[in-house]
A and B are shown apart, each in its own frame.
Chain A
Amino acid sequence: MPSLKDIKTQINSVGSTKKITSAMKMVAASKLRRSQEKAEAARPYSSRLEEMLSSLASSAASGEGIIKLLTGTGNDQNYIVVPVSADRGLCGGFNSSINRETFKLVKSLEGNGKKVQLMPVGKKSRDFFNRVMKDQIIESFVDLNVSSTGYESALNISNKLQELYFEGKFDKCILVFNKFKSAISQEVTQQQLIPLDVSNSEKEEEKENSSNAIYDYEPDEETILKDLLPKNVSIQIFKVLLESDAGEQGARMAAMDNATRNAGEMIDSLTLKYNRTRQAFITKELIEIISGAESI
């Protein structure tokens, strides 16, 4: 049976853990609000860009150079997979679900005879894939801090990807990231980044207004498309980074909330145990005194 002092130390240590987790929860909650605002602020740009792109996409039947971002290389042998995780842990299953999903995707692609390379974003997925698939990592990006550095961070990734793409290093690029659904739930999502998948947005636009397509293009459609496509890659990455950032804070908030609650429960049961032990101790001493007095 543990002594009173042991239990007391245990209560104290759980108590300080609780303080830490509840502080982390508060921090995550306020960061979440900021990340959400950022994600919201980025929305008008990306939706506009998508609209423009889908109205232009039809004009690019086939092509060389930059247009290949839209039409593809005509192959699908080499893949590059970009898992987007957080830089820090203590956020529940946030990082591990990304890693697991990516791992599964890579294995299934390889099962179909494709060649897969990895470009992890975020420390947690870099470290994971450094352990399990080290020789497939082509590049990694860590310490992005998208909420403070903003668009620049997405530009770096996008430039690197496009550089590799035009060197013919890969044919398809797939992003794996946590989509922000609500403050407490994220959904692991796969998104094909290159070549661009316009089928969804195109349909929507057709529904909205089919008459809106009579634009004058300056200088001409192709030039605009050539400018637009690389930007679109960057903005898609930016959007994903922001979503993932908001998701991370949400996941951390939920995880820390849980931890705080668990610590509270633990303190309660330990306190009960402490009181019982103390009571038992007093009773024992009383019995000793009484039986001592009786024997005299």
Chain B
Amino acid sequence: MATISFDLVSPENLIFNDDVGTIIVPGKDGDLGVLPGHSQVMSSLRPGRVMVYSEDKNLVKSFFVSGGFAEINPEKCIVLAESVVELNSLDKSSIEKEIEELGSKESKESEEQLLIAKAKLEAITVSFYDKI
């Protein structure tokens, strides 16, 4: 079975770079499952999970991204994300606290952060895509 090269890039560094089997990225209009030979797509992303699977469909790594872009062509998938955290390094109680704090503020900026924090909470509570 073929592989596709996957780059996960944040402004500060290159976070992931390897050949993988499947990637799921959170596109703005819905999740995109990327397999080798995918057609050329450029998409912006919503806050959500980026899941990376090996050739035999085992979950290798999962990340949370706060938004960004994905560029996909048959051999390569590149995700440019503004902030990237590994999913299992997130802590549920601290996010809940953050949501509470942000909820009390009223500005455009904190609203945006609140959306991201909520997406973060959702990302660690849901378990679909753990197995494909």
Q: Which residue of B lies closest to A239 (CB)?
A: B11
Give the residues in chain A near B13, CB-CB below 8 Å: 41-42
Are A215 and B40 in contact, CB atoms less than 8 angstroms apart? yes
Give the residues in chain A near B29, CB-CB below 8 Å: 218-219
Are B43 and A217 in contact, CB atoms less than 8 angstroms apart? yes
Are B41 and A38 in contact, CB atoms less than 8 angstroms apart? no
Question: How many A-B contacts are there with CB distance less than 8 Å?
Answer: 74
**A59 CB to closest chain B CB, in angstroms?**
11
Give the residues in chain B near A48, CB-CB below 8 Å: 9, 71, 78, 80
- A214 beta carbon closer than 8 Å to chain B: yes
Give the residues in chain B near A28, CB-CB below 8 Å: none
Q: Quick one: which of A150, A151, A216 contacts B42, CB cutoff 8 A? A: A216
- B58 beta carbon closer than 8 Å to chain A: no
Task: Mark the stretch among A227-235, A256-264, A280-288 that contacts chain B.
Answer: A227-235
* Among A41, A45, A154, A216: residue with most chain B CB under 10 A: A45
Are B80 and A151 in contact, CB atoms less than 8 angstroms apart? no
Q: Quick one: which of B11, B40, B44 contacts A45, CB cutoff 8 A? A: B11
**A146 CB to closest chain B CB, in angstroms?**
10
- A238 beta carbon closer than 8 Å to chain B: yes
Are A42 and B41 in contact, CB atoms less than 8 angstroms apart? no
Number of B residues whose C-beta is below 8 Å from A? Answer: 25
Give the residues in chain B near A224, CB-CB below 8 Å: 42-44, 69
Give the residues in chain B near A154, CB-CB below 8 Å: 11
Are A150 and B12 in contact, CB atoms less than 8 angstroms apart? yes
**A234 CB to closest chain B CB, in angstroms?**
8
Question: With A and B bound together, what is the CA distance between A37 and B71 in angstroms?
Answer: 25
Are A227 and B44 in contact, CB atoms less than 8 angstroms apart? yes
Give the residues in chain B near A238, CB-CB below 8 Å: 11
Question: With A and B bound together, what is the CA distance between A234 and B68 in angstroms?
Answer: 13
Sorted nearest first, the 5 A-B pairs with minimum C-beta distance are A41-B13, A218-B43, A151-B11, A215-B42, A227-B44
Residues of chain A having any CB pair with chain B under 8 Å = 38, 41-42, 44-46, 48-49, 52, 56, 150-151, 154, 214-219, 223-224, 227-228, 231, 234-235, 238
Q: List 14 A-B contacts (CB under 8 A).
A: A48-B78, A52-B42, A150-B11, A154-B11, A214-B40, A217-B43, A218-B28, A218-B32, A218-B43, A223-B44, A227-B67, A227-B69, A234-B11, A235-B11
